[in-house]
């Protein structure tokens, strides 16, 4: 199962590998950039929203401070203008003053004066009879700190039922105090109008965690939750918590009002951060998709422009490996390394095509020369066989002559038996001598023909040796051409190695080109292997041609020269025999003419006959030597014929190897 999955996912082509690599290199950075951009934008948006919350909280806090400070200044000015004795007498001036103050400050609900005697005054005026300011918290607090303006926690007014904030100050004589009740309803309306995001809001609580202002909760209601512990213990800060009412995850910023001790709190729903970040995410994804689409299209065309020439080179190299050298050159109109590779490949293909053509022509010439050598060798073999027959016939005649000479010697021993028998024997000798003279002349003519034929054999052998020398030189030239091909393959391999080194230096950007350099190295290895195979074949052909040349130059020429020498010696011997036979004939005629003188010269005739017998024996030995030499020459010609046939087969094999290429 795992192997099947690997085969399915395996990337086989260079184009797909480059597309995969560049796609990964493009997609991963884009995705990372998109992710970090979204994260950064979300973080900045979060920070901006928190900063906006903080600003709004500070703004509300400043609003509360400004509002309270204004009332504090008014209270302090008013306290400096009133004396406690005027409260006892309910001074009309004071009543008018406080009524005017309330009129000019609509945010105030009431203004109350009181002294240590229990006297009091209010604006707007009130008909209460059981009111005692000394029992009120505001009065007690003010009298405890007569030099300060004091603020107590807000509470619901007993007279109006509103949630008010009381600001109090002792009179300048120290015997009384005044307080104003600041209606927080307007503050609550101002705070409710402030929105933080879509669902965020601001609320205010006092030191007792009661709501001073809230968009949905009742004023004076006690706030709940563990988050209030930190709010009451710290001056300001951010915090995240779970709303105990609805369970939402919320983020808040709180600060403490320095005058009132109120906690102004701004609340944001954490979900709003994600909702606000979604447009950024969708924008980033759209930009990523468009960028990947454009980059993918550009990448496809760029990679195709790189791999298309390599695919053309691959197809052409495959055709060349199949033996088709008639393929057209790869046309690449580029000036970069791929264009240089195509130009070098076209040059290598042209050199290989030219070399194979020359080898084909050389192989044809070699085959033709081998056939001519074989034909000449066969003709020489027939001629030598004919010479052997002639020499054998001459040897037989010489043997017959030796036998006749021996018989003549025995006849001379019997000369003492009678002149008559000598005369008869002399007649017989005359006839035999005449026949011998004719045979010797015929043998001399045959030996002359043998000499001429041996001279012709020598010329044919020299011509064959010259052809073999030329074939050896051509084989050396073909070997040099094969070495040149091997050098080209080595240079191509070095070029691919340099390209791989440069690709490795380039790092990730040169990896695709490293794969290209690897493919070029494979082509160089194939070319080098083919060149080595051709060089091995040529080396074998050169070795066999050299051996044939050595046989022709050493053994055949030596044997031919030896045959010529033996033939010359035989011709000289035949001439000696002819002269000796002529002399014998003359002597036998003299014996026939002067029979009476043969008796006196019998001893001399016997010696002459013995001399004839010795000469005949020597002639027989000479003919036997000629016969042996001719047989050796015949055997040498058979060896030459066998070598010629082997050379012809080699030429046929070379031609077959070359025919595998289609020019």
Confidence of residue 613 (pLDDT cuts 50, 70, 90): low
d(CA 399, CA 578): 16
**Strand arrangement of the beta sheet that strand 236-242 belongs to:** 211-213, 201-205, 263-269, 249-256, 236-242
Q: State the pLDDT confidence band at 440, using cuts at 50, 70 and 90.
A: low
Task: State the average pLDDT over residues 30-41.
Answer: 78
Interatomic CA distance for residues 582 and 600, integer angstroms: 23
Strands 201-205, 211-213: pairing is: antiparallel
What number is the average pLDDT over the span 381-409?
A: 63
Kind and range of the H or E run holding 92 = helix 92-104
As to burial, measured by CB atoms within 10 angstroms (0-12 exposed, 13-18 middle, 19+ buried), residue 336 is exposed
Please choose, from the candidates 248, 123, 247, 227, the residue with its C-alpha nearest in 3D space to the C-alpha of residue 180: 123
Q: Which helix (H) or strand (E) holds 644?
A: helix 602-659
- The pLDDT tens digits of the residues spanning 501-510 come to 877 777 776 6
- pLDDT for 254: 93
Q: What is the pLDDT of residue 139?
A: 93
- Residue 655: burial class (beta carbons within 10 Å; 0-12, 13-18, 19+): middle
Least confident span in 8-12, 297-301, 532-536, 561-565: 8-12
Say whether pLDDT at 643 is over 50: yes
**pLDDT given for residue 255 in this prediction:** 94
Mean pLDDT of the chain: 75
Cβ–Cβ under 8 Å, residues 626 and 567? yes
pLDDT of residue 7 exceeding 60: no
Sorted by where each starts, the structural domains of the chain and their CATH numbers stand as: 17-271 (3.30.450.20), 340-659 (1.10.287)
Q: Please answer whether residues 296 and 30 qualify as being in contact, where contact means their C-beta atoms are separated by less than 8 angstroms.
A: no
Q: Which residue has the higher pLDDT, 181 or 464?
A: 181
Residue 125 carries which DSSP code? -
User: pLDDT at residue 256 above 90?
Assistant: yes
The residue behind tokens 């292997």 is 529
Give the pLDDT confidence score for residue 48 in this predicted structure. Answer: 82
Contact call for residues 638 and 353 (beta carbons, < 8 A)? no
Please give the span between the terminal C-alpha atoms of the chain, in angstroms, as a whole number: 48
Residue predicted with more confidence, 155 or 260: 260
Range with top average pLDDT, 132-141, 334-343, 503-512, 564-573: 132-141
**Does residue 8 surpass a pLDDT of 50?**
no
- Judge whether residue 12 has pLDDT over 50: yes
Of 42-51, 183-192, 649-658, highest mean pLDDT: 183-192
User: Taking residues 292-317, what's their average pLDDT?
Assistant: 78
What pLDDT is attached to residue 170? Answer: 94
Mean pLDDT of 217-240: 87
Instruction: Give me the pLDDT at residue 380, please.
Output: 61
Mean pLDDT (whole number) for 363-374: 68
CB 268 within 8 A of CB 250: yes
pLDDT of the residue at 144:
92
Q: Does residue 429 register a pLDDT over 60?
A: no
In terms of pLDDT, which residue wins out, 640 or 199?
199
Percentage of the residues of the chain whose pLDDT score is greater than 90: 12
For residue 592, count CB atoms less than 10 angstroms from its CB and return exposed for 0-12, middle for 13-18, buried for 19 or more: middle
* Residue pointed to by tokens 């020369």: 369
Q: Which residue has the higher pLDDT, 51 or 314?
A: 51
Average pLDDT value for residue range 374-378 = 66
Query: Which of the residue ranges 200-214, 215-229, 611-625 would you say has the lowest mean pLDDT?
Result: 611-625
pLDDT band at 592 (very low <50, low <70, confident <90, very high): low
Whether 9 has a pLDDT exceeding 50, the answer reads: no
Q: How confident is the model at residue 560 (pLDDT cuts 50, 70, 90)?
A: low
Question: What is the Cα–Cα distance from 237 to 254, expressed in whole angstroms?
Answer: 6
Q: Which of 54-58, 245-249, 298-302, 581-585 comes out lowest in average pLDDT?
A: 581-585
Q: Are 14 and 511 contacting, i.e. CB atoms less than 8 angstroms apart?
A: no
Does this model's pTM top 0.75? My answer is no
The pLDDT-based confidence of 176 (bands split at 50, 70, 90) is very high
> Cβ(200)–Cβ(269) under 8 Å?
yes
- Whether pLDDT at 178 is above 90: yes
User: What's the mean pLDDT in 255-267?
Assistant: 91
The answer to whether 581 touches 437, Cβ cutoff 8 Å, is yes
Nearest to 490 by CA among 434, 532, 536: 532
């Amino acid at each position: 199962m795992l192997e099947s999955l690997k085969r399915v996912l395996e990337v086989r082509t260079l184009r797909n590998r480059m597309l995969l690599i560049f796609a990964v290199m493009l997609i991963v950075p884009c995705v990372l950039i998109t992710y970090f951009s979204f994260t950064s934008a979300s973080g900045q948006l979060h920070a901006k929203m928190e900063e906006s919350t903080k600003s709004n909280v500070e703004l509300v806090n400043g609003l509360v401070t400004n509002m309270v400070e204004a009332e504090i200044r008014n209270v302090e000015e008013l306290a400096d203008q009133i004396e406690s004795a005027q409260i006892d007498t309910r001074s009309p001036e004071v009543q008018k003053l406080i009524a005017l103050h309330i009129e000019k400050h609509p945010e105030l609900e009431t203004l109350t004066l009181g002294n240590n005697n229990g006297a009091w005054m209010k604006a707007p005026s009130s008909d209460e009879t059981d009111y005692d300011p000394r029992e009120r918290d505001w009065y007690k607090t003010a009298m405890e700190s007569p030099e300060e303006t004091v603020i107590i926690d807000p509470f619901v007014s007993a007279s109006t039922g509103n949630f008010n904030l009381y600001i109090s100050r002792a009179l300048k004589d120290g015997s009384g105090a005044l307080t104003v009740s600041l209606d927080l309803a307007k503050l609550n309306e101002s705070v409710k109008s402030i929105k933080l995001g879509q669902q965020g809001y601001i609320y205010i609580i006092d030191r007792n965690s009661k709501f001073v202002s809230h968009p949905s909760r009742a004023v004076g209601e006690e706030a709940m939750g563990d988050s209030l512990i930190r709010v009451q213990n710290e001056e300001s800060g951010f915090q995240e918590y779970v709303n105990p009412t609805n369970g939402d995850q919320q983020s808040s910023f709180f600060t403490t009002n320095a005058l009132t001790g109120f906690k102004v709190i701004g609340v944001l729903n954490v979900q709003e951060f994600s909702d606000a970040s979604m447009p950024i995410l969708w924008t980033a994804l759209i930009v990523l998709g468009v960028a990947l689409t454009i980059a993918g299209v550009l990448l496809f065309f760029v990679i195709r422009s790189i791999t298309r020439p390599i695919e053309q080179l691959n197809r052409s190299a495959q055709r060349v490996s199949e033996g088709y050298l008639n393929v057209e050159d790869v046309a690449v109109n580029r000036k970069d390394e791929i264009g240089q590779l195509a130009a070098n490949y076209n040059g290598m293909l042209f050199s290989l095509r030219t070399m194979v053509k020359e080898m084909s022509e050389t192989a044809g010439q070699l085959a033709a020369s081998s056939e001519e050598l074989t034909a000449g060798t066969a003709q020489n073999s027939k001629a030598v066989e004919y010479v052997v027959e002639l020499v054998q016939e001459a040897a037989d005649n010489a043997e017959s002559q030796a036998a006749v000479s021996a018989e003549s010697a025995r006849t001379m021993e019997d000369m003492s038996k009678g002149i008559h028998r000598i005369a008869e024997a002399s007649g017989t000798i005359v006839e035999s001598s005449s026949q011998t003279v004719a045979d010797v002349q015929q043998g001399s003519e045959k030996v002359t023909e043998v000499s001429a034929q041996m001279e012709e054999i020598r010329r044919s052998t020299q011509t064959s040796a010259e052809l073999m020398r030329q074939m050896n030189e051509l084989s050396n030239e073909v070997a040099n051409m094969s070495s040149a091909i091997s050098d080209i393959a080595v240079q191509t391999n070095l070029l691919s190695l340099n390209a791989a080194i440069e690709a490795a230096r380039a790092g990730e950007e040169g990896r695709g080109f490293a794969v290209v350099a690897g493919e070029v190295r494979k082509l160089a290895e194939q070319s080098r292997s083919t060149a080595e195979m051709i060089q091995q074949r040529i080396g074998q052909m050169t070795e066999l041609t050299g051996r044939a040349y050595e046989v022709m130059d050493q053994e055949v020429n030596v044997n031919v020269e030896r045959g010529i020498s033996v033939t010359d010696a035989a011709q000289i011997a035949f001439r000696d025999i002819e002269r000796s036979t002529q002399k014998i004939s003359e002597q036998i005629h003299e014996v026939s003419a002067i029979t009476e003188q043969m008796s006196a010269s019998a001893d001399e005739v016997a010696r002459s006959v013995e001399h004839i017998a010795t000469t005949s024996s020597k002639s027989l030995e000479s003919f036997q030597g000629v016969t042996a030499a001719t047989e050796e020459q015949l055997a040498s010609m058979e060896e030459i014929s066998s070598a010629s046939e082997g050379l012809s087969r080699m030429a046929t094999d070379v031609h077959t190897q070359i025919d595998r290429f289609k020019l």
